[in-house]
């Protein structure tokens, strides 16, 4: 829409009031052709673009102007100046319309949004009364009517605005004429202002010319002076010059003045208290006010009522300067003399005292301003308010502000600094938003130093902060008990001397100070090994509390870092707490600020050490985790390691580093050794606590490292019969008759095995009735068992990984020891000589001259997973973990070595006749037989063919086989009424051999129908005594001598079938395993191996 709109009435941009016109134009508009004319023309052309409607009128006007200009040029006259076109404050009408439309749309949107939020109650479903015209009225609720009313008001208001726009649109069609009228009005206003300015200039010139007037010259007097050299008309005053004053006269006058002044001060004048110090000299009196000024006064008359007169004043404080001679001194002289005349000496003192106080405050203000422009810039804030200097320091520090006010106290209140009600310089200290006592601030009224005052205030503030921090830190047990040192150094004048020395650890120290200018706390450690920056600051806390929290945080960080560095030297690995899934606040106290977890490769994965640090102390904890799932990861704790949440946490030591002692080379190495031990003991104690069936002492909370780094022992109540079924060893009835060990076992940590990388535990106990000289039976090379010589005490050595319970091994070893002692007792009862004793073997000697040795092995087989089973499940388990199996072993050349399997089966058989006593009896019974068989086996050359085989069916039954002749004999023990005898019977005859008749005849002639030394034939067999059975075997072997050359036709490979032995008297022993004979080779190519062979105990071959 075409048209222009004016922004303000003053379209020309000039003020309405009169103003001085431009001197270059003298109020005359610029001519055409000048710069101003060009500017006006340009403005006119620019403004023409905004005129309403067609530009025809304007163009016509310009055409007429050009025509008239041409006429004037033609006649030789100068053309009139062009009026300047005013465009300032104009803007297009279209912009106004667009703005109005946009505003209407925005307000309508807001109105619709607001009306949508108004909740309108639903209309009743009943019949509604109709309107007069028959139409329904609709919802007539108050909310609905209010919405309609607001919408109607909005429409009315916007309709009025758009009507105004319509009026403006119609008026803008005549905007070109109005614009020309504005230009004319502006031209007239400029002319009027030029006229007013000319009148003002003429008036000012007339006023200034008054001062330039000069009086008319006195020509008559000048002529008289030039002619006569004097003026007769001038009168004479008649003054006589005084006589010259000599030095003696001056001295007399000064002395007289001194006497007058002294007399007046003593007798008549009232001298105020501050003027009590004075001296009279040189015709004047000098009043001395300390730290303020010296005032010289004198008198002008001898009258006692005459006033004193001011002579001079000197300030007695620095910095100060003498009052310069001139107007200031004269003003001061007049003011002091007036005060002396009206108020006397007291009023003079009040005047000068106030002047000095004000001067001091101003001097301090100037010094403070100089500080703000120097090193203290952007740190101080200085303001002078009616003789009160306000100095705010530490402006950049957050929190409550601190400032110092230096002003003049009225002296109405009695205080130490203002006596007798006199005004004085006073200090008011606001520290952290609260007013505090300012008497400790160092303020020298003689030597004024704003920097000294400021440093004293800051030093006192710093001392207060460090004192508060000292008091709060000293309440913590680390410092109250003297475990760590805490020392503070304070000053009233120097803030840099205020320090707080804190011992973080035994080797690290911290110095706390406050930076004087900025007020920030500075914490420096010695040695400076803290790599992380201390940026965690809480601005909401008081400054002292912030320092305490930062000191506590740095102390705990230093302690943990020192522990980690020392622990890594010992092979400990730092464990990430995230991998443990640990809720730290659930298992540890809330006052702990820093913690770290450690693990060692030789430990179990379900045990870690925790080092916690707080201001109340540093502690070591033993943390038991839930059983871990086996992982193939190389890292001990990672996301796939299977470690779950901690199961328990127990404090074991209240210090990271032990107290240094003279015999301690490496304190932390000893601490690491003790931590290794306490972890092992805690694992065993926790295992016993989970079992709930074996009592022990001390309880878990008391199982801690002592002050001397000693690992406490565990006392265990041991009774084999009362152990859980899973831990009991089922012993033979003969060995389980009674207990050999007292019921108290002391389990102690004895170090770390460097080769096995395992903890060494020693179980100490005492025997109930120790056998004689049992200690000598234990070998010195046996490190698992030690028995006291001549005493009843014993010790069992165990190896276990730290964190793994050794209770199963301990209970197994104790029951092994009882089994070994029971075997030892049985051997001695059987008149056998014990030779050695250990937890796994009992060695003894037997035979007529105790020349043969044997070992009874004690083997306990355990489940490989018993260490991973929950102890609670083990208590409820009926199946025992340990399976006992006894064994017997014979060394070469013991003849019984070939019967080792039979004796082992006999020891472990559950029959009534199977026992250790039976085995020891059989050793004596079968010894002659086995010795005789060894004699028959003597074959030094080891090249003769195989002649005989002996098969031990069991310990009481043997089969003798001659494979060349295919003849078998059975040799067994038979019980007779008074003794045991060996009975030899034929188990198989010859079949189709040429030597059959000859062999039978030999057997009948030499054995069955014969009698020898210790043996006798029975027609179908032979009986021999126990000790003479060797003669029988020798005679039997002779029967087959000379028959080896007889050829055996159709000889097939040797095959022997086991012949079941006939049961003898009370023989319920099963046959030994492996009692079949394999094919025997006719030639032994390894004589040494054949001679040393003793592994097959059931087969005896005689070459």
Domain assignments of the chain as residue spans, ordered by start: 1-119+142-202, 249-342, 358-411+421-448, 464-527+537-555, 570-627+642-656, 697-890, 911-1045+1057-1102
pLDDT of 71-130, one tens digit each?
444 445 677 778 888 888 788 888 999 999 999 999 999 999 999 888 888 766 555 555
| pLDDT for position 124 | 61
**CB 11, CB 182: distance < 8 Å:** yes
Q: Residue with structure tokens 């003002």?
A: 200
Helix ranges (H only) for 475-536 are 477-480
**CB 29, CB 194: distance < 8 Å:** no
Say which residues have a Cβ less than 8 Å from residue 301's Cβ, sequence separation at least 6.
none
- Decide if pLDDT at 170 tops 60: yes
- Decide if pLDDT at 607 tops 70: yes
- Decide if pLDDT at 392 tops 70: yes
What is the 3 state secondary structure string of 68-125? HHHHHHHHCCCCCCCCCCCCCCEEEHHHHHHHHHHHHHHHHHHHHHHHHHCCCCCCCC
Range with the lowest mean pLDDT among 36-45, 166-175, 268-277, 984-993? 36-45
Task: Quickly state the pLDDT bin for 774 (edges 50, 70, 90).
Answer: confident
871: phi then psi, degrees, rounded to nearest 5: -60, -30
Q: What percent of the chain has pLDDT over 70?
A: 78
Please choose, from the candidates 336, 357, 461, the residue with its C-alpha nearest in 3D space to the C-alpha of residue 400.
461
Query: Which residue would you say has higher pLDDT here, 633 or 229?
Result: 229
Could you give the CA distance from residue 95 to residue 168 in angstroms, rounded to a whole number? 13
Range with the lowest mean pLDDT among 22-31, 415-424, 812-821, 934-943? 22-31
HSE of 581 in the Cβ direction (CA atoms, 13 Å)?
14
**CB 962, CB 1005: distance < 8 Å:** no
Say if pTM beats, i.e. exceeds, 0.85.
Answer: no
Please choose, from the candidates 286, 277, 320, the residue with its C-alpha nearest in 3D space to the C-alpha of residue 446.
320
Question: What does the buried/exposed string (b/e) look like for 784-799 if buried means 16 or more CB atoms within 10 Å of the residue's CB?
Answer: ebbbeeeebebbbbbb
Could you give the CA distance from residue 1016 to residue 1001 in angstroms, rounded to a whole number? 17
| pLDDT for position 195 | 96
**CB 808, CB 866: distance < 8 Å:** yes
State whether residue 196 is helix, strand or coil. Answer: helix
State the average pLDDT over residues 649-658: 85
Angle made by CA atoms 703, 704, 705, in degrees to the nearest 5: 140
456: phi then psi, degrees, rounded to nearest 5: -65, -45
| pLDDT for position 1102 | 35
Residue 440, sorted as left (phi over 0), alpha (psi -120 to 50) or beta, turns out to be: alpha
State the average pLDDT over residues 1039-1043: 76
In order, the DSSP letters of 225-292 are HHHHSS-TTS------PPPPPPHHHHHHHHHHHHHHHHHIIIIIS---GGG-SEEEETTEEEEEETTT
Query: Which residue would you say has higher pLDDT here, 170 or 736?
Result: 170
Q: What percent of the chain has pLDDT over 90?
A: 32
| pLDDT for position 233 | 74
Query: Which residue would you say has higher pLDDT here, 331 or 525?
Result: 331
Query: Which residue would you say has higher pLDDT here, 415 or 323?
Result: 323
HSE of 635 in the Cβ direction (CA atoms, 13 Å)?
11
State whether residue 307 is helix, strand or coil. Answer: coil
What is the 3 state secondary structure string of 658-719? CCCCCCCCCHHHHHHHHHHHHHHHHHHHHHHHHHCCCCEECCHHHCCCCCCCCCCCEEEECC
| pLDDT for position 587 | 78
Task: Quickly state the pLDDT bin for 667 (edges 50, 70, 90).
Answer: confident
HSE of 239 in the Cβ direction (CA atoms, 13 Å)?
4
**CB 798, CB 761: distance < 8 Å:** yes
- Decide if pLDDT at 263 tops 60: yes
State the average pLDDT over residues 130-145: 70
| pLDDT for position 164 | 93
Please choose, from the candidates 379, 393, 536, the residue with its C-alpha nearest in 3D space to the C-alpha of residue 453.
393
Please choose, from the candidates 49, 25, 45, the residue with its C-alpha nearest in 3D space to the C-alpha of residue 35.
25
| pLDDT for position 534 | 55
Task: Quickly state the pLDDT bin for 255 (edges 50, 70, 90).
Answer: very high
Say which residues have a Cβ less than 8 Å from residue 250's Cβ, sequence separation at least 6.
none
State the average pLDDT over residues 919-928: 89
Please choose, from the candidates 541, 517, 546, 498, the residue with its C-alpha nearest in 3D space to the C-alpha of residue 394.
517
Could you give the CA distance from residue 159 to residue 32 in angstroms, rounded to a whole number? 49
**CB 1069, CB 955: distance < 8 Å:** yes
| pLDDT for position 961 | 87
State the average pLDDT over residues 274-303: 94
| pLDDT for position 8 | 42
| pLDDT for position 35 | 39
| The pair of three-digit structure tokens given for residue 229, joined into one six-digit string | 């050299």
| The pair of three-digit structure tokens given for residue 715, joined into one six-digit string | 């006392």
Query: Which residue would you say has higher pLDDT here, 878 or 965?
Result: 965
- Decide if pLDDT at 1065 tops 70: no
**CB 514, CB 495: distance < 8 Å:** yes
Could you give the CA distance from residue 634 to residue 220 in angstroms, rounded to a whole number? 132
Task: Quickly state the pLDDT bin for 866 (edges 50, 70, 90).
Answer: low
Range with the lowest mean pLDDT among 144-153, 953-962, 993-1002? 993-1002
**CB 1002, CB 987: distance < 8 Å:** no
Q: Residue 151, exposed/middle/buried by CB under 10 A (0-12, 13-18, 19+)? A: middle
- Decide if pLDDT at 1101 tops 90: no
Could you give the CA distance from residue 684 to residue 120 in angstroms, rounded to a whole number? 77
Range with the lowest mean pLDDT among 683-687, 951-955, 1062-1066? 1062-1066
| pLDDT for position 872 | 72
Please choose, from the candidates 108, 116, 110, 104, the residue with its C-alpha nearest in 3D space to the C-alpha of residue 147.
116
HSE of 21 in the Cβ direction (CA atoms, 13 Å)?
22
- Decide if pLDDT at 29 tops 70: no
- Decide if pLDDT at 202 tops 80: yes
- Decide if pLDDT at 321 tops 60: yes
Query: Which residue would you say has higher pLDDT here, 128 or 1083?
Result: 128
| The pair of three-digit structure tokens given for residue 619, joined into one six-digit string | 């502690």
**CB 594, CB 556: distance < 8 Å:** yes
| The pair of three-digit structure tokens given for residue 665, joined into one six-digit string | 């080379």
Could you give the CA distance from residue 681 to residue 690 in angstroms, rounded to a whole number? 14
Task: Quickly state the pLDDT bin for 401 (edges 50, 70, 90).
Answer: very high
* Eight-class DSSP state of 163: H
Arithmetic mean of pLDDT over the chain: 79
| pLDDT for position 989 | 60
| pLDDT for position 155 | 95
Question: What does the buried/exposed string (b/e) look like for 210-222 if buried means 16 or more CB atoms within 10 Å of the residue's CB?
Answer: eeeeeeeeeeeee
Question: What does the buried/exposed string (b/e) look like for 901-930 if buried means 16 or more CB atoms within 10 Å of the residue's CB?
Answer: bbbbbbbebeeeebbbebbbebbbbbbbbb
HSE of 948 in the Cβ direction (CA atoms, 13 Å)?
24
- Decide if pLDDT at 543 tops 60: yes
Say which residues have a Cβ less than 8 Å from residue 937's Cβ, sequence separation at least 6.
1100, 1101, 1102, 1103
Per-range mean pLDDT, top range of 121-130, 295-304, 663-672:
295-304
């Amino acid at each position: 829409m075409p048209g222009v709109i004016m922004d303000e009435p003053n379209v020309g941009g000039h003020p309405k009031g009169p103003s001085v016109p431009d001197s270059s134009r003298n109020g005359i508009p610029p001519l055409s052709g000048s710069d101003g004319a060009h500017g006006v023309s340009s403005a006119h052309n620019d403004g023409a673009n905004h005129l309403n409607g067609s530009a025809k009128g304007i163009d016509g006007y310009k055409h007429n102007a050009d025509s008239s200009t041409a006429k004037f040029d033609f006649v030789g006259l100068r053309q009139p100046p062009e009026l300047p076109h005013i465009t300032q404050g104009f803007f297009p009408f279209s912009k106004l319309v667009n703005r109005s439309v946009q505003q209407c749309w925005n307000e309508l949107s807001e109105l619709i949004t607001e009306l949508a939020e108004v909740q309108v109650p639903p209309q009743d479903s009943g019949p509604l009364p109709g309107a007069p015209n028959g139409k329904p009225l609709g919802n007539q609720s108050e909310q609905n009517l209010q919405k309609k009313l607001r919408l109607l008001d909005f429409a009315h208001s916007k309709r009025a605005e758009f009507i105004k726009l319509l009026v403006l649109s119609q008026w803008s069609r005549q905007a070109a004429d109005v614009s020309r009228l504005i230009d004319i009005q502006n031209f007239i206003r400029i002319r009027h202002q030029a006229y007013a300015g000319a009148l003002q200039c003429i008036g000012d010139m007339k006023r200034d010319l008054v001062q330039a007037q000069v009086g008319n010259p006195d020509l008559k007097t000048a002529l008289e002076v030039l002619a006569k050299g004097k003026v007769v008309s001038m009168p004479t005053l008649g003054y006589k010059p005084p006589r010259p004053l000599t030095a003696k006269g001056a001295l007399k006058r000064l002395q007289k003045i001194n006497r007058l002044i002294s007399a007046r001060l003593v007798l008549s004048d009232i001298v105020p208290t501050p003027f009590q110090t004075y001296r009279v000299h040189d015709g004047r009196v000098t009043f001395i006010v300390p730290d303020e000024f010296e005032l010289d006064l004198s008198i002008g008359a001898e009258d006692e009522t005459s006033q004193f007169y001011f002579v001079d004043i000197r300030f007695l404080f620095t910095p100060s300067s003498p009052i310069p001679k001139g107007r200031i001194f004269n003003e001061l002289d007049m003011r002091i003399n007036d005060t002396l005349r009206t108020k006397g000496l007291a009023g003079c003192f009040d005047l000068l005292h106030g002047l000095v106080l004000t001067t001091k405050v101003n001097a301090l203000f100037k010094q403070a301003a100089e500080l703000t422009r120097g090193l203290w810039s952007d740190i101080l804030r200085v303001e002078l308010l009616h003789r009160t200097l306000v100095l705010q320091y530490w402006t950049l520090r957050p929190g409550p502000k601190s400032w110092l006010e230096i002003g003049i106290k009225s002296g109405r209140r009695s205080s130490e600094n203002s006596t007798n009600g006199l005004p004085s310089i006073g200090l008011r200290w606001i520290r952290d938003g609260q007013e505090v006592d300012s008497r400790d601030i160092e303020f020298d009224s003689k030597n004024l130093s704003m920097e000294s005052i400021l440093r004293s205030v800051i030093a006192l503030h710093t001392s207060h902060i460090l004192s508060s921090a000292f008091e709060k830190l000293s309440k913590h047990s680390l410092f109250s008990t003297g475990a760590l040192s805490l020392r503070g150094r304070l000053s009233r004048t120097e803030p840099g001397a205020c320090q707080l020395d804190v011992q973080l650890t035994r080797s690290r120290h911290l110095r706390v100070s406050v930076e004087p200018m900025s007020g920030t706390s500075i914490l420096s450690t010695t040695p400076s090994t803290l790599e992380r920056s201390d940026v965690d600051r809480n601005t909401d806390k008081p400054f002292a509390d912030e320092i305490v929290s930062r000191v506590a945080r740095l102390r705990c960080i230093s302690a943990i870092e020192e522990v980690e560095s020392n622990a890594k030297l010992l092979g400990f690995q730092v464990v990430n707490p995230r991998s443990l899934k640990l809720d730290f606040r659930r298992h540890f106290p809330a006052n702990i600020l820093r913690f770290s977890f450690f693990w060692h490769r030789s430990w179990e994965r379900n045990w870690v050490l925790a080092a916690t640090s707080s201001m109340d102390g540093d502690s070591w904890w033993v943390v038991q985790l839930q059983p871990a799932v086996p992982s193939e990861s190389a890292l001990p704790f990672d996301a796939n390691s299977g470690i779950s949440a901690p199961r328990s946490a127990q404090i074991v030591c209240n210090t990271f580093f032990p107290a240094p002692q003279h015999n301690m080379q490496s304190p932390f190495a000893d601490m690491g050794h003790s931590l290794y031990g306490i972890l092992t003991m805690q694992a065993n104690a926790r295992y016993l606590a989970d079992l709930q069936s074996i009592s022990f002492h001390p309880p878990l909370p008391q199982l801690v490292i002592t002050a001397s780094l000693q690992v406490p022992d565990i006392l265990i109540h041991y009774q084999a019969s009362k152990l859980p079924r899973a831990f009991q060893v089922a012993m033979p009835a003969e060995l389980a008759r009674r207990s050999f060990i007292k019921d108290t076992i002391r389990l102690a940590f004895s170090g770390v095995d460097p080769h096995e990388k395992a903890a060494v535990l020693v179980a100490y106990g005492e025997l109930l009735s120790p056998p004689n000289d049992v200690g000598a039976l234990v070998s010195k090379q046996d490190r698992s068992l030690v028995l006291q010589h001549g005493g009843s005490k014993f010790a069992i050595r165990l190896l276990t990984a730290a964190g793994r319970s050794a209770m199963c091994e301990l209970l197994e070893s104790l029951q092994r020891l009882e089994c070994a002692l029971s075997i030892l007792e049985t051997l001695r009862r059987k008149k056998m000589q014990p030779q050695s004793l250990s937890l796994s073997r009992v060695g003894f000697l037997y035979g007529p001259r105790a020349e043969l040795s044997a070992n009874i092995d004690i083997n306990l087989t355990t489940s490989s997973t018993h260490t991973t089973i929950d102890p609670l499940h083990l208590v409820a388990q009926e199946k025992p973990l340990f399976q006992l199996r006894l064994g017997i072993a014979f060394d070469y050349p013991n003849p019984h070595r070939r019967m080792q399997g039979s004796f082992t089966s006999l020891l472990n058989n559950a029959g009534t006749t199977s026992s250790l006593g039976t085995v020891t009896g059989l050793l004596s019974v079968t010894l002659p037989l086995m010795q005789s068989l060894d004699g028959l086996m003597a074959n030094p050359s080891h090249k003769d063919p195989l002649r005989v085989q002996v098969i031990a069916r069991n310990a009481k039954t043997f089969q003798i086989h001659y494979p060349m002749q295919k003849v078998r004999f059975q040799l067994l023990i038979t019980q007779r009424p008074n003794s045991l005898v060996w009975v030899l019977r034929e188990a198989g005859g010859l079949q189709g051999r040429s030597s059959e008749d000859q062999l039978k005849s030999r057997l009948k002639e030499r054995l069955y129908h014969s009698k020898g030394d210790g043996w006798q034939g029975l027609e179908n067999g032979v009986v021999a005594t126990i000790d003479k059975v060797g003669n029988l075997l020798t005679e039997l072997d002779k029967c087959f001598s000379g028959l080896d050359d007889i050829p055996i036709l159709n000889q097939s490979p040797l095959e022997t079938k086991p012949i079941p032995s006939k049961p003898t008297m009370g023989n319920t022993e099963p046959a030994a395993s492996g009692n079949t004979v394999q094919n025997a080779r006719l030639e032994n190519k390894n004589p040494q191996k054949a001679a040393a062979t003793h592994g097959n105990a059931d087969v005896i071959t005689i070459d």
